[in-house]
Amino acid sequence: MKKKAIGHAGWLWTGLASVVAFIYFFPVLFIILTAFRSRSDTLATPPKWFFTPTFENFYHIFFRAMANSTEYVSTGFHVYFFNSIYISGMSVLLALLIGTLAAYGFSRHPLRGNDTYLFIILTTRMLPPIIVIVPIFLIFRITGLAGTYTGIILMYTAFNLPFSIWMMKSFFDELNTEIEDASRMDGASERSVFFGVCIPQVKAGLAATSVFALILTWNEFLFSLLLTNKLTRTMPPAMARTIGGEINVDYGLLAAMICLFIIPIFLITYLLQNQLLRGVTFGTIKK
């Protein structure tokens, strides 16, 4: 099908839009450039825009020189990277699974006081996490969940659920329930109505919900800082720990870490962008 032109913006508007886009992108660009600068180039004032790119920062993420020696030892950063992927991935999947089932229930089989339950679910997201961190920390200590994958995955799942339920519910609400009734008339069981009829129609919603949940989890700092240990730590607190020490802040190292850190989320968002666009504009372009 031919793409329809919505309107022809003049050069002026196009130019203005690129300027705004550039302003948004500038911090990211600066980080990327810093990642490839040598230590002396990083600290130069005014900033050096032309320099010889180096990969030494990336090398130092994984291997660090020992004090008073030329020997390099592993920093264990690959573990944190894996932890981030594993913990975010698992908790987003779990939140999506539970959230979708709950949302379908809320949408199709409303309980007495349905809206109240939905509201209560959302209240957990109305206060800053720092307020609940002490009781949660104690619970984790007592139950032995502190420092375990299970613990932090459960924490993030609970963290993502309200959002997933609300978002998926709105997608189920938008569907034409006649199609579900029709498939019941055609002999479908409730399970095949859900998996065969509803889920395929909310694919865009699943994509949008998972990307948003993934971004939230991927960047989460506080819970990970307090509820994980050396073996289960995720990237954000691990990166924070490189700040300080005898060399203060190693900006080049930090920038290189950030570059690696945004790659997975960048890829996933890019792969899902078509679904995502349909997902976030769902209500407005239907029918």
Partner 1 sequence: MSTIELQKLTKEFGELTAVNNVSLKVEENEVLCLLGPSGCGKTTTLRMVAGLEVATSGDILIGNNNVNNLDTRDRNLAMAFQFYALYPSLTVAENLANPLHAENLSDDEIKKKIFEVADILQLKDIVNRKPHQLAEGEKQRVAVGRAIIRDPQCFLFDEPLSRLDVQLREQMRGQIKEVLSDLKKATVIVTHDQLEALTMATKIAVMRDGFIEQISTPHDIFAKPNNTFVAGFIGTPQMNILDCNIIEINSSIIKINTLGQEVNVDFKNPLNVNTNESYFLGIRPRSFEIVDNNDSDNFSGTIDLIENMGSEILVHVKINESTFRSVLSRSHKLKIGDSINLKPKIGQVHLFNKDGKVIRDE
Residues in touch with partner 1 (CB under 8 A): 176, 178-179, 181-189, 197, 200-201
**Is the Cβ of residue 130 or residue 285 nearer to partner 1 in the bound state?**
285
Q: Is 64 helix (H, G, I), strand (E, B) or coil?
A: strand
CB of 211 to partner 1, least distance (A): 23
| Phi and psi at residue 23, to the nearest 5° | -60, -40
- For residue 46, what is the DSSP state? S
Q: Which is nearer to partner 1, 7 or 200 (CB)?
A: 200
Quote the CA–CA distance of 95 and 210 in Å, as a whole number: 9
Tokens for 36? 């490839």
* Torsion angle of the four alpha carbons 184, 187, 191, 197, in this order, in degrees rounded to the nearest 10: -60
Phi-psi category of residue 22: left, alpha or beta, with phi > 0 → left and psi -120 to 50 → alpha? alpha
Residue 57 CB, shortest distance to partner 1, in Å, is 48
Q: In angstroms, what is the minimal distance from the CB of 207 to partner 1?
A: 17
Closest by alpha carbon to 86, among 165, 161, 164, 150?
150
The smaller minimum CB distance to partner 1, of residues 183 and 269, is found at: 183
Nearer to partner 1 (CB atom), residue 39 or residue 184: 184
| Least CB distance to partner 1 at residue 184 (A) | 4
- Considering Cα of 265, then 271, then 277, then 282, what sign does the dihedral take? negative
- Count Cβ atoms below 10 Å from residue 138 Cβ, excluding itself: 11
Least separation in angstroms between CB 5 and partner 1: 22
Cα–Cα distance for residue pair 163/122, rounded to 1 Å: 8
What SS3 state is found at 235? helix
Contacts for 81 with CB less than 8 Å, ≥ 6 apart = 235, 260
What angle separates helix 11-35 from helix 251-271, to the nearest 10 degrees?
Answer: 130
Choose between 71 and 178: whose C-beta lies nearer to partner 1. 178
Smaller CB separation from partner 1, 116 or 189: 189
Please state the closest distance from residue 261 (CB atom) to partner 1, in A: 38
> What is the rounded CA–CA span in Å between residue 99 and residue 110?
15
CB nearer to partner 1: pick between 41 and 180: 180
Least gap, CB of 65 to partner 1 (angstroms): 58
Between 1 and 6, whose beta carbon lies closer to partner 1?
1
Q: Considering the complex, what minimum distance in angstroms separates the CB of residue 181 from partner 1?
A: 5
- Rounded to whole angstroms, the Cα distance separating 257 from 274 reads 28
